Structures are given as C-alpha cells and as structure tokens.
Structure 1
Amino acid sequence: MSEVLFILGTVIQIYSFILLARVLMSWIPMFTNRPLDPYNPLVKFLLDVTEPVLAPLRRYLVIGMIDLSPLVALIGLQILGNAILRSA
C-alpha cells in the first residue's frame, strides 16, 4: 500500500510542476509582446492538462484581473501531497 501512496504523491508533485510551467507560460506574452500559439504542442498540452483543475477554481477566485486559481491549486496540491507522503 505504501508504494501506491508513494506513486500518488509523485504524480501530485509532477502535476504541481506542470501547473507551475503553465503559470510561467502565461507570463511569456507579457515579456515578448506576442500571444501564445494555442496550436503549439507544448502549449496545448499544458492547457489541456491543467484546465480541468483550474476552471472550477477560476469561477470563484478571480479578483479583477488577478487569477488566484493556480496559487490555490498549488497550495491544495502541496497539502494533499504532504498528507499522502506522511501516511505512506
């Protein structure tokens, strides 16, 4: 059972890195003055993988132009990952 929990904790950590990559990717247009290409395979992958988690949070956590959903998702994933790894 502890192997399953370890694998689940690792998956949560990998997903956290993917979510962080999406946040960093969202800053690229600000520095390059060019929009992201939604047909780029990497951009499409990051959007497709993270949107199911961020979309429900975004309904409640947008304050003006600030989207707090990635921050809340990262905090939630870290809490969940720590709880899983402690129980393993």
Structure 2
Amino acid sequence: MILSTFIQAFAQILSMAINIYIWIIIIAALISWVRPDPYNPIVQILYRLTEPLYTKIRRIIPTSIGGVDLTPILVILVLKFIDLFVVQLLFEFARSI
C-alpha cells in the first residue's frame, strides 16, 4: 500500500512537472514572436529553461523548415507522449500492486 501510494504520488508530480514545462515552452514560443528585450529577467529565465533542450534536439534532428523552428512543437509532442503513456503506466502499475 505504501509503495502504491508512493508510485501514484510520483506519477502525479511527474505529470504536473511535464505540464508546467509544456506551458513554459508555449510562453517562450509566444514571446519569441514579438522580439522581447533579451535583458528582461523573465525572457532570460525562459531562454535558460528551454534553449538547452532545444540545442540537444537540433543537433540530432534538423527542425527548421522554411525559417520556422519546429523544435518547440516536437518537444511538446514528446512530453505529451511521456505524460499520456509513461505516467499512465505508472498509475496502472500502482493500482496493480
């Protein structure tokens, strides 16, 4: 029972963290369309939270098509897959214990 509760709590926190990061990606993408002040602390935080992951993905897969960077969309799709598949597997595993 304790292990089951722990796994469910972990799955819930993982799901929340994934959803928060998805919103960070969306906000960073929207802000990038309006040429933000690069010295703004919020812009710097968003850049530091998203750009390292974007850089790793851009090394593996070319994500720029016609001058449009599709990296945020790709990251969101992967994160939603993890949220829908892995987190649900954790919930099912916790219920089966």
Could you say which TM-score interval applies, normalised by the shorter chain? 0.7 to 0.9
RMSD: 1.2
The yes-or-no answer on 1:9 pairing with 2:15 is: yes
The yes-or-no answer on 1:50 pairing with 2:56 is: no
Q: Map of 1:1-88 to 2, 5 A cutoff?
A: 1-29=7-35, 36-59=36-59, 60-87=62-89, 88=91
2:70 and 2:52 map into 1 onto residues whose CA distance is 15
Compute the displacement of 1:46 (Å): 0.3
TM-score by length of 2: 0.77
Secondary structure at 2:33's aligned position in 1? Answer: helix
TM-score by length of 1: 0.84
Q: Specify the structure having the higher radius of gyration (Cα).
A: 2
Q: How far does the alpha carbon of each residue in 1:14-61 deviate from its partner, in whole angstroms, 9 at most, with x for none? A: 0000000011001113xxxxxx21111100000000111111223421
Given that 1:6 and 1:84 are in contact with CA atoms closer than 8 Å, whether structure 2 keeps it comes out as no
Q: Runs of 4+ in structure 1 displaced over 3 angstroms?
A: none
1:73 and 1:21 map into 2 onto residues whose CA distance is 14
Kindly tell me the number of residue pairs found equivalent between the two proteins. 82
Identity of counterpart residues, as a percentage?
A: 33
Gaps of 5+ in 1: 30-35
Gaps of 5+ in 2: 1-6, 92-97
1:67 and 1:49 map into 2 onto residues whose CA distance is 17
